[in-house]
C-alpha cells in the first residue's frame, strides 16, 4: 500500500508539475508576446526619433542654404546698386560737361553774328543736356526703392505697386538721360551741318 500511495503522490506531483509547466509555458508565451510588442514599440520610437533628427538636420541645412542665398542676393544687390549709382554719376557728369560746353558755345554765339541762326539749336541742346543731367541725378530715390523691394522679394515678402513703379523708373531714367544727351548732341550736329 505504501507503494500505491507513493505512486499516487508521485502522480499527483507529476500532474501538478505538468500543470505548472503548462502555466509556465503560457506565461512564457505571454512574456514573449509582450517582448515582441515592446521591441516593435521601441523600433517605432527609434525610427521616429531618427526621422525627427533627419528632418531637423534637413531643416537646418535648408535654413543655412537660404541664408547663404540671401547673402548672395544682398551682395549682388549691393554691386548692382553701386553700378547704377556709378552709371547715374557718369551720365550726370557727361550731361553737365556737355551743358558747360554749350554755355561756352552760347557765349561765342552771342559774340559772333554769323552764328546767330544757330541760337535755337544751341538753346535746345543746352536744355537737353541740362535735362539729362537732372534726370540722371534723380535716379537715387527710385534706385533705393528698387533695392528694398528686391530684398523683400528675396526674403519672401510681397512687393507693393510703388516698388514696381520704382523699378520702371530705374530702368528708364538712364535711358532718358542718355536720350537727352544724344538729342542735345544731335541738335548741335544738325546746327553745324546746316551752317557749314
- pLDDT, tens digit, for every residue of 99-126? 888 778 777 776 777 767 777 877 888 8
Lowest mean pLDDT among 36-40, 66-70, 92-96, 153-157: 153-157
pLDDT tops 60 at residue 40: yes
**What's the pLDDT at 41?**
86
In 10 A of CB 17, how many CB atoms? 11
* CA–CA distance, 89 with 70 (Å, rounded to integer): 28
Cα four-point dihedral sign 39, 44, 50, 56: negative
Which CA distances in Å does 170 have to 31, 73, 135? 78, 18, 11
Helix axes 161-195, 140-155, angle to 10 degrees: 140
State the DSSP H helix or E strand holding residue 119, giving kind and residue range, or none if neither: helix 119-137
Per-residue confidence band for 140, with pLDDT thresholds at 50, 70 and 90: low
pLDDT of residue 141: 61
pLDDT at residue 81 in the model? 73
What pLDDT shows up at residue 164?
Answer: 63
Q: What does the pLDDT look like over 147-157, one tens digit per residue?
A: 666 666 666 65
How far, in Å, CA of 169 to CA of 153, rounded?
18
Q: What pLDDT shows up at residue 1? A: 64
Taking 70 as the threshold, does the pLDDT of residue 93 lie above it?
A: yes
What pLDDT score does 181 carry?
82
pTM of the predicted structure, to 2 decimals = 0.51
pLDDT cut 70: percent of the chain above it: 80
Q: Look at residue 58 in the predicted model and tell me its pLDDT.
A: 92
CA distance 11 to 98: 127
Average pLDDT of the chain to the nearest whole number: 77
Q: Is residue 80 classed as helix, strand or coil in its secondary structure?
A: helix
Taking 80 as the threshold, does the pLDDT of residue 76 lie above it? no
The mean per-residue pLDDT over the stretch 9-33 comes to: 83
Cα separation of the two ends of the chain: 158
Exposure string over 104-116, b if 16+ CB within 10 A, otherwise e: ebbeebeeeeebe
10 pLDDT more than 80 = no
165 pLDDT tier (thresholds 50, 70, 90): low
Amino acid at each position: 500500500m505504501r507503494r500505491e500511495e507513493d505512486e499516487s503522490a508521485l502522480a499527483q506531483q507529476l500532474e501538478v508539475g505538468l500543470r505548472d509547466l503548462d502555466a509556465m509555458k503560457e506565461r512564457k508565451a505571454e512574456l514573449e508576446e509582450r517582448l515582441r510588442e515592446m521591441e516593435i514599440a521601441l523600433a517605432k520610437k527609434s525610427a521616429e526619433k531618427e526621422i525627427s533628427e533627419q528632418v531637423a538636420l534637413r531643416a537646418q541645412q535648408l535654413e543655412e542654404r537660404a541664408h547663404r542665398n540671401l547673402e548672395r542676393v544682398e551682395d549682388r544687390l549691393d554691386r548692382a546698386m553701386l553700378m547704377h549709382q556709378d552709371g547715374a554719376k557718369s551720365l550726370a557728369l557727361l550731361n553737365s560737361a556737355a551743358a558747360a560746353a554749350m554755355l561756352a558755345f552760347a557765349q561765342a554765339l552771342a559774340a559772333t553774328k554769323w552764328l546767330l541762326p544757330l541760337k535755337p539749336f544751341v538753346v535746345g541742346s543746352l536744355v537737353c543736356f541740362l535735362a539729362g543731367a537732372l534726370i540722371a541725378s534723380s535716379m537715387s530715390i527710385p534706385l533705393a526703392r528698387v533695392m528694398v523691394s528686391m530684398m523683400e522679394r528675396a526674403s519672401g515678402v510681397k512687393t507693393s505697386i510703388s516698388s514696381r513703379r520704382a523699378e520702371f523708373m530705374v530702368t528708364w531714367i538712364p535711358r532718358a538721360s542718355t536720350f537727352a544727351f544724344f538729342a542735345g548732341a544731335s541738335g548741335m550736329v544738325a546746327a553745324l551741318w546746316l551752317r557749314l
